[in-house]
Structure 1
Amino acid sequence: MDNLKRKIRSYTSVSDQDLTYGLQFYKEKHFKKGEFIIKPGQFVNHFYFLEKGCVCYYTEDDLGIHVMEFFTDNTFFTDLYSYIENVPSENYVKATENCIVQMILKEDVIKSYNFSHDLERFGRISMQEAFVKIFQKTNDLKTLTNQERYIKLLDKRPDLFQRLPQYLIASYLGITPVGLSKIRKRVARK
């Protein structure tokens, strides 16, 4: 819970009383590597804080897996569209490592927002951050070359290359595993 407290306070200052009120609604759950947190067709009623571990947020079709994001230690996540619009998810969220997750029900999020302006502010800022990440990734896919996207990921999130299989990283970058291998060799020679 200490990581969650620090994370919330990184967005806004929250009194001990307000924070204690909000934290009472979180429930800890452990997910084993390979276990699904969210599946298509599921209504997403929780907002999650990944205390420890790594999860993959993706969709799947006839062409394979399309990774949209990886969430790692001390990160908030959910299937935002399903959560906000109250529609069934079309995506998967799967543990790629053993994970410790703090979960809060949507109705309890609303209770905490109604109780505290600072908790509501935290929620707004964290949602804005999630939106900006989605926008940035979409923009990167349109404007950066495959190699530029690889280098950016390597610079910003080097831990992913030790934590995840190459095919998932390739999918996240919008390239094939063979393409990723070629880029890695090219960049390593420089």
Structure 2
Amino acid sequence: MHQQLLNNISYFIYLSDEEKEWVCNKFTAREYKKNDYFLREGQVCREVGFIKKGLVRYVVSNDNGEEQTVDFNKELEYTCNYASFLDKSPSRTAIQFIEDATVLVISYDDLQDFYTHLAEGQKFGRLICEFLYVEAIKKVTSLYTSQPEQRYLQFLDAYSDLLPRLPQYYISSYVGVQPPSLSRIRKRLAK
């Protein structure tokens, strides 16, 4: 059940057999159905999830109540609203399952223990935070500097394997255009 998680962590740091057992005891398996929420807007994020199976989208709502998809996570990736998780503030982002999913979950307190209990736990936390920071800067920069066609190409570069699994309206929302505009972008790029 936990082998994929252990492989992921072991990619970043060394885990002894005792540490592997400790990790397996701290991450709990949960099942989610399509359209369930890992986190709703306004809730405080109190857990990090490692996705064994399934797909999530990160959703924000504007003042008119319109939803915009701002990110995705898939198998072998972590899901969490890290800002809410770290400072215990209400989340402005919802995390919704697009497919039925199996997720291994660890609480905030257990993750803090992870950092201190594992010999290289702090290193793991730092490497993950550095990765998330770089990804966040890329996304923010893209929103301010890239045209929709370029954002779609960036989406394809990052998530091409998800195309068959995502409805077009989630992709168009992520790119920041209406579905008909996304269709025109796709047609132009197909030429």
Does 2:57 match 1:56?
A: yes
* Code of the aligned partner of 2:121: L
Q: Which residue number corresponds to residue 48 of structure 2?
A: 47
How far did residue 156 of structure 1 move?
Answer: 2.9
Q: Which moved more, 1:10-19 or 1:174-183?
A: 10-19
Q: How does 1:171-190 map to 2 (within 5 A)?
A: 171-189=173-191
1:27-54 per-position Cα deviation (integer Å, ceiling 9, x unaligned):
0001100111100221211011011110
Q: Which moved more, 1:77-86 or 1:167-176?
A: 167-176
Does 2:53 match 1:69?
A: no
Does 2:61 match 1:24?
A: no
For structure 2, the residue ranges without an aligned partner over 5 or more in a row are none
Q: Which moved more, 1:157-166 or 1:59-68?
A: 59-68
Determine the C-alpha separation between the residues in 1 that align with 2:166 and 2:5: 24
Q: Which residue number corresponds to residue 14 of structure 1?
A: 15
TM-score, length basis structure 2: 0.93
SS at match of 2:103: strand
Q: Which residue number corresponds to residue 116 of structure 1?
A: 118
1:108-163 per-position Cα deviation (integer Å, ceiling 9, x unaligned):
01112111231221122112212221111111122222112212221332122211
Does 2:153 match 1:151?
A: yes
SS at match of 1:101: strand
1:59-103 per-position Cα deviation (integer Å, ceiling 9, x unaligned):
113161121210011001201111011112122100000111000
TM-score, length basis structure 1: 0.94
Determine the C-alpha separation between the residues in 2 that align with 1:118 and 1:147: 42
Q: Which residue number corresponds to residue 80 of structure 1?
A: 82
Q: Residues 152, 40 of structure 1: CA spacing in aligned structure 2 closer, same or farther, 3 A cutoff?
A: closer
What percent of counterpart residues are identical? Answer: 28
| Preserved contact between residue 19 and residue 119 of structure 1 (Cα < 8 Å) | no
Does 2:164 match 1:169?
A: no
Q: Residues 124, 23 of structure 1: CA spacing in aligned structure 2 closer, same or farther, 3 A cutoff?
A: farther
Q: Residues 46, 165 of structure 1: CA spacing in aligned structure 2 closer, same or farther, 3 A cutoff?
A: same
SS at match of 1:74: coil
| Preserved contact between residue 44 and residue 83 of structure 1 (Cα < 8 Å) | yes
Q: Which residue number corresponds to residue 33 of structure 1?
A: 34
Q: Which residue number corresponds to residue 4 of structure 2?
A: 3
SS at match of 1:159: helix
| Preserved contact between residue 14 and residue 119 of structure 1 (Cα < 8 Å) | no
Q: Which residue number corresponds to residue 94 of structure 1?
A: 96
SS at match of 1:158: helix
| Preserved contact between residue 18 and residue 119 of structure 1 (Cα < 8 Å) | no
For structure 1, the residue ranges without an aligned partner over 5 or more in a row are none
